[in-house]
Structure 1
Amino acid sequence: MMTVPIIIDFEASGFGQGSYPIEVGFSGRHGEGWCSLIRPEPDWTHWDPEAAKVHGIAREILVERGNTAQFVAEQLNFFLGGRTVYTDAWGQDYVWMARLFDAAEIVPKFKLTDLFEIIEDEQMPIWQATKDQISKELCVARHRASSDARVLQLTWLRTFDETRKQTV
């Protein structure tokens, strides 16, 4: 029996060293989503204008409307505790997740794993075209955590289903 993967995505202040998480969102097994802006910690000062162009979130908005690292980490543990959660950018997202949980001074109660561990070879040839089609269908205009997670989840589902049809 197929289990729908839970997909998580982080947006960050930049693409390199010194960057920190500014938003996290996930798409659960039944398509339910959750997302939160993250207020920067006092020592989180790195800000890359190029990254801000991609996610479209101003630092001022994070300071005004973001939740504390502790609140966000506690919520993630509440919703995702005991589960395996997948990301398409494991190397980056793992660092940003660790930075979030370190700031909150708590331990993640879920396992973060690379999405590509559950993508079968047969899914890869149709992956990008399917992802692009789903983004169009959902009218995803902005690069944001919860919508990115949902697009990835639906891409996995659709490509999984397509490969199963070909083998029947």
Structure 2
Amino acid sequence: MNNLKGMKSMPGEKTRKTLVYSAWGLLFLSVVGVLVIQAFQEKPQPSKPTFLSDLIIVTARTTAQNRIIDEDITFVRAQAANSHALKFYYTLTRYDTHPNNVDLGVMKSNILKANCAAQMRSDQSILSLGGTLIYIFGSKNVNEVGQFEINKQSCEG
């Protein structure tokens, strides 16, 4: 009887060993297959929108606040509007007493020329990456006197 018992257990052990070796073999082949696939795949490039959003956040955080531009304009702050837009807030210091002396059209033209000249030279600037610069003007008594946006199309057109 012991001989029969021993004989029955032998094929079971052999089958179990075969299954274990097969499992390890399949695991090895799977790992090799994944490594081969990854080796021949094209490496993903960092996306420009991610770089753009990082650039906007860094610019908003590092731009000095409360700077007097001239006797009529004070820069208040920069703020990230979203992942592709940066807002600049300005106070028109004489607007409340002399509203007719403010011409937002002239201001937009001057800011557009300056930004396009500076930013379109670099392929790593907010405008060249497809971002938008939003300029918002207010005064002590008027929250928003006016605003305008500048983007890559503004510079090209």
TM superposition score normalised by structure 1: 0.23
Structure of greater relative contact order (alpha carbons < 8 Å, 6+ residues apart): 1
